[in-house]
Amino acid sequence: MKIKLLLILLIFTGLMSFVAHKDLLFFAPKKWPKPVYNFTNNSLDKTKIKLGRILFYDPILSKNNTISCANCHSPYNAFTHVDHALSHGIGDSIGIRNSPALMNLAWHKSFMWDGAVNHLDMQALSPISHLDEMGETIENVVLKLQQSNGYKRLFYKAYGDSLATGERVLKSISQFMLTLVSSNSKYDSVINMKASFSIQEKKGYTIFLKNCSSCHTEPLFTNLNFENNGLSLDKDLKDYGRIKVTQSAKDSLKFKVPTLRNIEFTYPYMHDGRFKTIGEVLNHYTDGIIHYKTLSQLLQKKIKLNADEKVDLTTFLLTLTDKSFLFNPKFGYLNFRQ
Amino acid sequence: MIAHQSLKLDSLYTLFNKDSIRITNFKFYISNFTFLKNGQIVFKEKNSFHLLDLKDTNSFKIHIKSPQNYTQIQFCIGIDSVANSAGAMGGILDPTKGMYWTWQNGYINMKLEGTSSACKTRNNEFVYHIGGYQYPFNSLQSLIFKAVNKQNVTIGIELNKFFSDVNSNTNHTMMSPSLQAVKLAEIFKTIFVIE
């Protein structure tokens, strides 16, 4: 009997190291491409992630201390803003776009619907200073943080000195955002042979591969490119997308292809949030495409789906829901008193 | 290395063309100092970024330790595309320095603000924020000078020339990357003259 006890202890050591591995701050899921983000310039650290997380949830980033990142990027909705077609900021001002969901950002090479931002670190500057979002300046954010004893302690813990700087604020927010990896949906379990699709989900997956996957490419469910997906121009918003950045006519009405991961929770859809349901989105792709000059090459041929096929496809899209991401306590609200 | 001369912020100057002009803000980056001999690089300053701000005249004196055997000095006006795409940086490259565009990424290579009697704008104001690092709007400019005195190099910045080459009557506001901004950057480059 005693000999057996020794063996159990050995196995226990093995388990411990497995747990330690799972506790990595960031890991690229199996079969995924290499992340684009250069971690050598901003290597992840628990105290920096915590600081970034607190900043993410703190309205101190806005001019009148009312709007935090999480106002438009709620964790329970895959970090987007549900129920609002267009995101709103300080003083109830309304922007022109639907806030994108935040996940798997380490793999993205550009940010915003029009790709105006070239690096994750610099992304937060845009909403902080936009008049219809936080209406603040990074200079003033840094001043406010420098005056806060709570933040002084956090900066000290993270950077070894208590001074808040623009670089540190931005890099800390990046650190938190980099940890937002969603790779644990039913779809992922199927790909990793740990589960199997229902017959309907499987049919839907086949339809997806045939009609959707050239833009919404696995495993990120976006090819990260800019495409015109045939939406009519909104006459009030007059948002021509990427052309604003490149000033090139070929980019007119192009927007970044969004991920479909957690699509169940990221409604409304499209850059201006015009569709409330997945059904409306599918109807657009089968019957609503407008053939503008810059329409995506991949949409030139009409997509034909009957009602049953749309249901099958929707069933598959729901397998992209990742509850361990949506309800991960590590991503939730935190302030510096905690 | 570069000494500013008599130009003072908020003072009124009369240009050759009789326009009266007042500079309220003048800041720009210079970067990538390289020392050459017969076209061969003998020394490159590491982490070579300098922010010159007329509010702080000391910023116009740059100290570089370099070997003696050079005949030419090369540097850039602005921030190159590598640094523009590298994410958040500190020191003079920190975005709190007021030299970074937030709505569309990129450093502002040069800021020149003030008033001129030539500008038919509100309060006769002009605003030149010159930047852009992506083709075809790359406004980074490279300069090369023959070095005569190797201990103490003085480069004049002749703003007079900028205002005689730019028609500030029509061209008075620039705050985004564009072909026009590139043109302004090219004019700005020509006002650097070795003394």
pLDDT at B173 over 50: yes
Q: Report yes or no: B180 at the A interface, CB cutoff 8 Å.
A: no
Residue with the bigger pLDDT between A338 and B173: it is: B173
Mean pLDDT value across residues B124-134: 95
Give CA–CA dist B195/B177, Å, rounded: 31
* Residues of chain B numbered 114-143 and touching chain A (CB < 8 Å): 137
| pLDDT band (50, 70, 90) for residue B38 | confident
| pLDDT band (50, 70, 90) for residue A94 | confident
Q: Domains in chain A, ordered, with CATH? A: 39-181 (1.10.760.10), 186-321 (1.10.760.10)
Give CA–CA dist A279/A120, Å, rounded: 32
Give CA–CA dist A153/A269, Å, rounded: 40
Give CA–CA dist B66/A314, Å, rounded: 66
Question: What is the overall mean pLDDT for chain A?
Answer: 91
A129 and B102 in contact by Cβ < 8 A?
A: yes
Sign, Cα dihedral of A64, A69, A75, A80: positive
Closest-CA distance of chain A to residue B49, Å: 16
Chain A CB contacts of B104 below 8 Å: 116-117, 244-245
Give CA–CA dist B138/B136, Å, rounded: 6
Contact A186, A297 (CB under 8 A): no
Q: Which two tokens stand for residue A175?
A: 């650190």
Give CA–CA dist B11/B24, Å, rounded: 8
Q: Report yes or no: B49 at the A interface, CB cutoff 8 Å.
A: no
pLDDT at A13 over 50: no
CA distances from B65 to A8, A52, B34, B43, B73 (A): 65, 39, 12, 9, 13
| pLDDT band (50, 70, 90) for residue A8 | very low
Residue with the bigger pLDDT between A290 and B16: it is: A290
Contact B96, A139 (CB under 8 A): yes
Backbone angles phi, psi at A178, to 5 degrees: -65, -25
A170 and B85 in contact by Cβ < 8 A?
A: no
Closest-CA distance of chain B to residue A290, Å: 29
Residue in A with minimal Cα distance to B137: A246
CA distances from A5 to A9, A12, A14, A80, A292 (A): 7, 11, 15, 51, 73
Q: Using N-to-C axis directions, what is the helix angle for A46-56 and A166-178, rounded to 10°?
A: 100
Backbone angles phi, psi at A191, to 5 degrees: -60, -35
A174 and B94 in contact by Cβ < 8 A?
A: no
Chain B CB contacts of A117 below 8 Å: 104-105
Mark out the alpha helices in A118-165 (DSSP H runs): 120-123, 125-129, 138-146, 149-159
Contact A311, A296 (CB under 8 A): no
Q: Report yes or no: B39 at the A interface, CB cutoff 8 Å.
A: no
| pLDDT band (50, 70, 90) for residue A23 | low
pLDDT at A3 over 60: no
Give CA–CA dist B193/A261, Å, rounded: 57
**Residue among A116, A130, A168 whose CB faces B105 most closely:** A116
Mean pLDDT value across residues B117-128: 92
Closest-CA distance of chain B to residue A114, Å: 10
Q: Report yes or no: A281 at the B interface, CB cutoff 8 Å.
A: no
* Residues of chain B numbered 61-120 and touching chain A (CB < 8 Å): 84-90, 94-98, 100, 102-106
- CA-based nearest residue to A150, from A63, A80, A60: A60
